[in-house]
């Protein structure tokens, strides 16, 4: 089947318009503080939900495409996380509603990452409008670099923003090692080794002092042990983690490079999460010895919440170090 000249012309114009629109969309995104490709950074904004959204909102100060996706990630997954936690507490239907929200989160997670990687400024019906309204980049008076300004800067050489950005990139790589000086970092590593040794000795030989202390009528102090025999199932995990941590800091004293330091921090944080999660599963505590019914009920809840917060904090720290490593690698490769 032959196409008429008019049909061929129409197909040509449509393809030309599509290519032009794609180029315009990519150009309008502007430069990036992180020096990652905007579509890659946009995808990473959704990688760990609202957590990576916050990280990229802090790291990226110029590119409104990336900042929008970061804010949309915070608004979308932050709301769904809170809703899932609250709804799961409801009797009878809580688990079902939490599962439904989990499915919605998974679907949105895939869609938003795909759209961001394709370079689309894809807005969800409600969350997108909220994110757009919150961001200063979409308000009047915003100082973000526009596509025309970027083209003008490129036509005259290198813009002042690009120069300062390049200087910052070089400066960050140089200053990264000199922050606190090499001696300061060695002192920090030495203290970390000392602290891990203290923890190793205490939890191995003096764990019986983890007890609930109260004063007897005769004035003497009595300690009621809080640990059960299950503690000895968790202790080897802790000892292994502490020994690995000590070995890691010894390596950093000998060979202190940025990439190695960040990699070790990622690994140690992940190990820390594993230790805390195992402690939560084993939970070798006996709070029934506490001579207060209210405390018997409240203390286990408080301990569980604190351990969960510590695990989440370590996980976020690992994610931050991972993104810093990616951003620094991107800056080095682009310089």
pLDDT in tens, 185-230: 888 889 999 999 999 999 999 988 898 887 777 778 888 889 999 9
Length of the chain as a residue count: 335
Domain segments of the chain: what residues? 31-144, 180-334
DSSP conformation class of 73: H
**SS3 string of 283-332?**
CCECHHHCCCHHHHHHHHHHHHHHHHHHHHHHHHHHHHHHHHHHHHHHHH
Which has more confidence, 225 or 335?
225
Residue 138 DSSP class: G
pLDDT tens-digit profile of 22-35? 555 544 455 677 77
Q: How do residues 121-141 score in pLDDT, each as one tens digit? A: 888 888 888 888 877 644 444
SS3 content of the chain, % helix, strand, coil (to 5): 75, 5, 20
- Cα separation, 117 vs 44, whole angstroms: 9
Position 231 scores a pLDDT of 94
State how far the Cα of 316 lies from the Cα of 327, in Å rounded to an integer. Answer: 16
SS (H, E, C) 161-195: HHHHHHHHHHHHHHHHHHCCHHHHHHHHHHHHHHH
Is 225:284 a contact under the CB 8 Å cutoff? no
Share of the chain above pLDDT 70, in %: 80
Quote the tokens at residue 235: 């202790």
Mean model confidence pLDDT for the chain? 79
Residue 93's SS3 state is coil
| Contact yes or no for 45/116 (Cβ under 8 A) | yes
Q: How far apart are CA 108 and CA 124, in angstroms?
A: 9
């Amino acid at each position: 089947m032959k196409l008429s000249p008019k049909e061929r012309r129409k197909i040509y114009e449509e393809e030309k318009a599509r290519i032009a629109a794609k180029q315009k969309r990519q150009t309008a995104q502007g430069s990036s503080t992180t020096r990652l490709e905007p579509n890659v950074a946009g995808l990473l904004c959704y990688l760990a939900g609202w957590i990576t959204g916050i990280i990229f909102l802090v790291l990226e100060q110029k590119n409104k495409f990336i900042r929008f996706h970061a804010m949309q990630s915070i608004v979308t997954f932050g709301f769904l996380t809170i809703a899932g936690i609250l709804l799961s507490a409801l009797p009878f239907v809580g688990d079902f509603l939490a599962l439904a929200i989990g499915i919605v989160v998974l679907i949105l997670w895939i869609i938003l990452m795909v759209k961001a990687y394709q370079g689309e400024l894809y807005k969800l019906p409600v969350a997108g409008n909220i994110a757009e309204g919150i961001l200063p980049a979409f308000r009047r008076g915003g100082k973000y670099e526009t596509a025309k300004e970027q083209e003008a800067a490129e036509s005259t050489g290198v813009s002042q923003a690009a120069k300062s950005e390049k200087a910052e990139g070089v400066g960050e790589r140089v200053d990264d090692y000199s922050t606190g000086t090499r001696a300061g970092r060695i002192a920090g590593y030495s203290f970390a080794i000392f602290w891990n040794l203290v923890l190793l000795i205490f939890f191995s030989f003096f764990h019986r002092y983890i007890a609930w202390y109260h004063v007897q009528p005769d004035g003497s102090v009595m300690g009621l042990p809080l640990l059960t025999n299950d503690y000895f199932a968790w202790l080897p995990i802790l000892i292994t983690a502490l020994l690995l941590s000590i070995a890691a800091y010894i390596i950093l004293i000998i060979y202190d490079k940025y990439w190695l330091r960040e990699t070790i921090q990622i690994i140690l944080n992940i190990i820390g999460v594993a230790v805390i999660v195992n402690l939560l599963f084993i939970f070798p505590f006996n709070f029934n010895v506490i001579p207060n019914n209210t405390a018997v009920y409240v203390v286990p809840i408080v301990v569980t919440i604190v351990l969960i917060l510590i695990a989440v904090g370590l996980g976020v720290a690992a994610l931050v170090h991972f993104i810093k490593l990616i951003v620094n690698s991107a800056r080095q490769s682009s310089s």
